[in-house]
Structure 1
């Protein structure tokens, strides 16, 4: 079976048998190359960019008795008052589309 178009180009069954695998392999290769290149361009970044960078691990510990009625702690690592929240997460969320907020610890009402 041959299909003849107005341009005079003749498309046969043999043409399909060659063209389909070539198209599939080309599409798969293009997809894999695009995934590889996009993975390379998306550099993984650190969350903590400024707090205690000379320390191998940043850890803060607080006694519940020292907290008072309420304490608000930073979870975005952008606070100038770290480990306490100064509202820097609002700007971070706006710039990145993230939804991080503070950790709020308060005494339970009796």
Structure 2
């Protein structure tokens, strides 16, 4: 059996040289449209988040649990009934409100606040 030889293949064409490109181009006209739209979207998102958070969260309230059915919490004491010393809560976390039970220590640790009790005592003679 005779072996047949194949004709030689033609040379391959040279590969194209890669073009240096950043891959993303924006014209000045596109930029003048994109920037205001992006700023408006960011501002709208910020304002919407503030509005939603304000409606769903009452972070500004100090009194979270005491006499919430009352329009205003007021306590009154006669000086004669106090004795020699009385310690009153100012953090609104006391389980013995209006008297202090030391709850401000935990409150201060959790929030970085520095609130303490109101202490009323008779002057030493």
Q: TM-score range by the shorter chain?
A: 0.5 to 0.7
Alpha-carbon RMSD across the aligned residues, in angstroms, is 2.9
More helix by share: 1
Q: What CA distance in whole angstroms lies between the structure 1 residues aligned with 2:122 and 2:25?
A: 82
1:18 aligns with one of 33, 44, 57: 33
1:59 aligns with one of 69, 74, 77: 74
Shift of 1:50: 4.3
Q: What CA distance in whole angstroms lies between the structure 2 residues aligned with 1:54 and 1:70?
A: 30
**1:87 maps to what in 2?**
102
Question: 1:65/1:23 Cα in 2 relative to 1: closer, same or farther (>3 Å)?
Answer: same
Q: Residues 40-92 of structure 1: CA distance to partner in whole angstroms, max 9, x if unpaired?
A: 342355715145x6665443322223323221112233333332212122223
The normalised TM-score by structure 1 is 0.66
Q: What CA distance in whole angstroms lies between the structure 1 residues aligned with 2:84 and 2:45?
A: 59
Structure 1 unaligned residues grouped into runs of 5+: none
Between structure 1 and structure 2, the one with the greater Rg is 2
More strand by share: 1
The normalised TM-score by structure 2 is 0.60
Structure 2 unaligned residues grouped into runs of 5+: 1-19
- Report SS of the residue matched to 1:104: strand
